[in-house]
């Protein structure tokens, strides 16, 4: 038996029925009950509203209002006390109506004993506790969902603001780069003019021997700054979604040979060899030749910058298939050097803007750190792939794979 008594609110307008129910509660084998008896619906509603009871035994027939009316009003007032309906007649309609109104259980007078009443009370209390817990969990979940929705809306607003700021930043970079490019071009042009005049031994040369080195430094710095600005312009235009590709059917082997020829002078300064290797029957590809030359220039010049003098750089062109199982035809370009290679932990940095490996150029050449990022965006803009394979002390190979348009795609484009 429990030491503390369970508080029961008994609402019944029939004194005899009230005494019968009270006796059954007194005879309950396991629980002591502290019973408060009320006989009217108004008293019942006030008591249920005030609370302080563990359970309510409510008669269906009261005064002007039925027990169902009391239950509905109590629920409207937020009553958390479990209610067990008592009636003198077993009526299925009343049973269903009681359950629909939120009654915990339904008992017919004269058809239950102390043990059944005790068990019914215990189950009703436990059921109500479970309901309250579920409601608490549901309220908590609803509040969490509300907060998540609010956070999602705030995040969406912040993301939109970040996009706006990023576009504004790109426009600013583009404007600044445009404003800086012209005066730097003038400085570079005048530096070239002064150096050429000096080399030719022209009497009007503005340079004395001591100034040649200074002008060479001005020329080198201006050239690097102009290269950086051009790269910044390219990146800002790409990030603004303005990578305009003028695709035309192109002989990739011929384009590669032409580009390699242009880089022969740079390679010759370090006594390097540039070798072109190509398979027979390499298909033509729909590309923007100017943009692809920009990619090739970056890959070949990087190979020259980071390879020791006297080594060989191999540029290869061949056909292949895509990565996936149903991959289409591709043309694959590769630039292989005999440089120091790139550490595995540095490979992930290469295609990020301003991402650099720890490898140092062999001729003191400087890099903007944007070339490979631009190359990746150009290649992906063509629907292609770019990647690198490297082993430390054994050199690096950069690959570019470009899709070959199928016959039906060419017909649609036409």
State pLDDT tens for residues 87-134: 877 677 887 888 888 888 888 888 899 999 999 999 998 988 888 888
Angle, CA 175 vertex, CA 171 and CA 181 arms, to 5°? 140
SS3 352: coil
For the segment 301-360, what is each residue's pLDDT rounded down to a tens digit? 999 988 999 999 999 999 988 766 456 889 999 999 999 999 888 888 888 876 667 776
> Which residues have CB under 8 Å from 391's CB, separation 6+?
341
Residue 272 in tokens: 């390097």
**Closest to 61 (Cα-Cα) out of 35, 34, 98, 113:** 98
Sheet holding 329-336, edge to edge: 273-278, 312-321, 329-336, 395-403, 385-391
Contact call for residues 53 and 45 (beta carbons, < 8 A): no
- Greater confidence (226 vs 109) lies with 109
Q: Which residue has the higher pLDDT, 124 or 234?
A: 124
pTM value > 0.95: no
């Amino acid at each position: 038996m429990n030491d503390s008594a369970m508080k029961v609110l008994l609402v019944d307008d029939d004194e005899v029925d009230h005494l019968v129910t009270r006796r059954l509660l007194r005879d309950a084998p396991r629980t002591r009950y502290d019973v408060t008896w009320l006989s009217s619906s108004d008293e019942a509603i006030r008591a249920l509203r005030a609370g302080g009871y563990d359970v309510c035994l409510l008669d269906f027939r009261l005064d002007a209002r039925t027990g169902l009316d009391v239950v509905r009003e109590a629920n409207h007032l937020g009553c958390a006390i479990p209610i067990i309906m008592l009636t003198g007649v077993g009526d299925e309609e009343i049973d269903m109506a009681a359950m629909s109104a939120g009654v915990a259980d339904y008992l017919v007078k004269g058809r239950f004993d102390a043990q059944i009443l005790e068990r019914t009370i215990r189950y009703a209390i436990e059921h109500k506790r479970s309901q309250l817990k579920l409601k608490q969990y549901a309220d908590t979940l609803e509040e969490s969902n509300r907060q998540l929705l609010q956070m999602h809306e705030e995040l969406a607003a912040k993301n939109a603001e970040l996009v706006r700021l990023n576009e504004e930043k790109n426009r600013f970079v583009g404007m600044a780069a445009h404003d800086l490019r012209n005066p730097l071009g003038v400085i570079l042009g005048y530096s070239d003019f002064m150096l050429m005049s000096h080399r030719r031994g022209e009497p009007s040369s503005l340079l004395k021997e001591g100034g040649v080195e200074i002008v060479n430094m001005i020329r080198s710095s201006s050239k690097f700054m102009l290269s950086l600005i051009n790269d910044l312009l390219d990146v800002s235009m790409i990030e603004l979604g303005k990578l305009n590709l003028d695709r035309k059917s192109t002989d990739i082997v011929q384009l590669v040979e032409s580009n390699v020829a242009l880089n022969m002078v740079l390679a010759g300064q370090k006594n390097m060899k540039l070798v072109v290797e190509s398979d027979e029957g390499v298909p033509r590809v729909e590309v923007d030749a100017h943009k692809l030359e920009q990619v090739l220039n970056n890959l070949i010049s990087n190979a020259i910058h980071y390879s020791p003098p006297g080594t060989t750089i191999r540029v290869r062109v061949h056909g292949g298939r895509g990565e996936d199982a149903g991959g289409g035809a591709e043309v694959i370009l590769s630039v292989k050097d005999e440089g120091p290679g790139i550490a595995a932990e540095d490979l992930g940095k290469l295609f990020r803007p301003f991402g650099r490996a720890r490898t140092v150029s062999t001729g003191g050449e400087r890099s903007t750190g944007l070339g490979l990022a631009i190359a990746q965006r150009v290649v992906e803009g063509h629907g292609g792939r770019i990647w690198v394979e490297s082993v430390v002390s054994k050199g690096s190979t950069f690959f570019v794979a470009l899709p070959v348009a199928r016959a039906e795609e060419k017909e649609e484009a036409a």
